[in-house]
Each structure stands twice: as structure tokens, then as C-alpha cells.
Amino acid sequence: MTITQLEYFLAVANHGNFSAAAENCHVTQPSLSMQIGNLEEELGVLLLDRSCKPVAPTEAGLVVMEQAREAIAAFYNIKERVNDLKGEISGTLRLGVIPTISPYLLHRFIPGFVQNYPKVKLEICDMIKPNIIDALNRDMLDAAIIAGDTPREIREIELFKDRFYAYVSPNSDFYQRTNILIKDVDLKQLLVLSNGHQALELYRAKKKIKSEYNFESGTLETLMNIVDHTSAMTIIPQMAINTISEEKQKQVKMLANGTLSRKIALVVRRTYVKESIIKALMKSIMAVMKK
């Protein structure tokens, strides 16, 4: 039994098919299949039900999956601990980021991180929050940057608070105001994200209101473009404000009363490795946010 065999087995269990697992592991499918077959032969049990689509772990496979994750984590943790003693931070970090954070934060910390930690390879994936949690639990991500609360099985490290603002149309009655009370917002004129990352009572209330038209989008940029050409409004996070042109800054208004911010957090599994790289990532993010 080898670490490579365990990694190949987990890859198939996670991806649900051999070809995707082989691509992810950067090996040929026959090579991957042979290694898993050797592992099954050594253990004397079938670990994968190949008749299922997607391929699924057998009862024995589920037991081995749990132990394999711990064994692989312990294996790579040895090298990490030695690197820590040598003062060296290196390796690969698979990082997930939700779409309402990635356009506004990644470009701010990545250049400094790459410069300060040249031996770390960042693999970044834009993902919605439920997919991130699933990927963390299946060991397909090492860490993620999300907004809001997390399940109990996920460890959360709060980074900072991100305040909410209103983005209003030049045709709106709110355009001449400096701030807006949440109770004054016309929910029929509110545009929201389809994935619900504008975590306000406004978003929850909007779901209960029937409007003349109901538009939801996965990107803030789409909502803001619609606001520019209608009398509607939307909610944007503070980190998005720097991406708005000076001409349109007048459309950004303070919100008063209610849930005015979202929690931005770095999340990992309860049992995780690559601790030194994750600490370096946190340090890089906090350095740019202080500025």
C-alpha cells in the first residue's frame, strides 16, 4: 500500500470517474486504474463500485476513504513541519473563492503573496459557497475565502468585516441622498444576487415580494449595469467600491440600520495540513486590507 495508491483512490471517489481522476492526478487512466486495482488486491476487497455512474465507493471503500484522508494528511504534514524548521514555505495551495469576493480581493493580495512566497503554487477556483464546502469536505480544496457563516465541520478564521452599501440609479429618488434607511427601500426596485451572498434582511424580504419583473444575477457587475439604466438599486460590498469609476461613485450610498456588513473568513477543514502556507496567505490578505 502506498500514498500514491491512496491518492488515486480518493481522486476517483471524489470525481466519480476514472478519466477525470487521472487528469487531476496528471497520470494516464490505465496507470491510475492499475494502482487502484493493486490496492484492492492487497486489501482483499473492492473499494469502488464500477457499475455505478458516477463510480461510487463500496462499504469498504468508505472506511478506507476516511483513513486514507488522515494518512495522506499526516504524510504531507511531515514535509511541512520540516520546511517550517528550515524556515521554508513551499508547496501547492488549492484555494476556493466565492464570486462576490474574487473580483475585488484577489488582485490586491496575489502579487505580494507571489513575491514573498515564490515556492508556493496557488491554484485558485471561483466557486459558489455550497460547492466550496463540499470540495473542502472531499479534500479537493485546501482552503477557501467566503462570506457568512460556515457548517460545524468547517473551521473558520475571520479575516475582516465588509460593510454593505446601496448602489442606486441616477433616476432614483435616493440619488440625492447621502445615506439610505433600510426601511425606506422599495423591495420592488431591489435587484439581488441569485446565490444570496448579499446577506441582508433586504435579500430575505425581497424573496417574499412580487415585482413587475424579478431579475437575479450571479454577478454584481450585471446588477450594477442594469441599475445604471433603470430606476432600480442593488446592494454592494465595500470591497467593490474601489472598482467603480469616479463618475459613478455618486451612486454609492451608505446604508443605515439593519445588517450592515458581512463576515469575510478563511475556512479550512477541521483536520487540515499546509498550515504554514495558510498562515502566509492570511498574513498577505490582512496586510492589504489594513491599507
* 161-260 carries CATH number 2.40.50.140: no
- What HEC string does 45-90 produce? CCCEECCCCCCEECHHHHHHHHHHHHHHHHHHHHHHHHHHHCCCCC
Does an H or E element contain 104, and which? helix 102-116
Cα angle value 132/133/137 (rounded, 5°): 115
What are the structural domain ranges in the chain?
Answer: 1-88, 161-260
Q: What is the predicted pLDDT for the residue at 203?
A: 55
The string of pLDDT tens digits covering residues 224-281 is 998 999 888 888 889 999 889 989 999 999 988 766 888 999 998 766 668 888 899 9
SS3 138: coil
Is residue 145 predicted with pLDDT exceeding 50? Answer: yes
How many Cβ atoms are within 10 Å of 187's Cβ, its own excluded?
Answer: 15
Mean pLDDT of 91-110: 91
164-178, 208-222, 254-268: the lowest-pLDDT one: 208-222
**Is 242 in contact with 104 (CB distance < 8 Å)?**
yes
Q: What is the pLDDT of residue 46?
A: 93
CA dist., res. 288 & res. 270, Å (int)? 27
Percent of the chain with pLDDT over 90: 40
How far apart are alpha carbons 73 and 83 in whole angstroms?
A: 15
Q: pLDDT tens, 151-165?
A: 877 889 999 999 889
- Amino acid (1-letter code) at residue 274: K
Tell me what pLDDT residue 199 has.
44
291/288 Cα distance (integer angstroms)? 5
- The whole-number pLDDT of residue 218 equals 62
Q: Work out the average pLDDT over 194-213.
A: 54
Residue 207 has pLDDT above 70, yes or no: no
Q: Is a pLDDT exceeding 70 seen at residue 104?
A: yes
Between 99 and 217, name the one with better pLDDT. Answer: 99
In 3D space, the residue among 3, 22, 2 whose CA is nearest the CA of residue 12 turns out to be: 22
pLDDT in tens, 17-41: 899 999 988 899 999 999 999 999 9
**Band of residue 126 on the pLDDT scale cut at 50, 70, 90:** very high
pTM of the model: 0.75
Average pLDDT over the chain reads 85
CA distances from 239 to 50, 71, 106, 250 (A): 47, 39, 11, 16
Q: Which overall architecture, per CATH, does domain 1-88 show? A: Orthogonal Bundle (1.10)
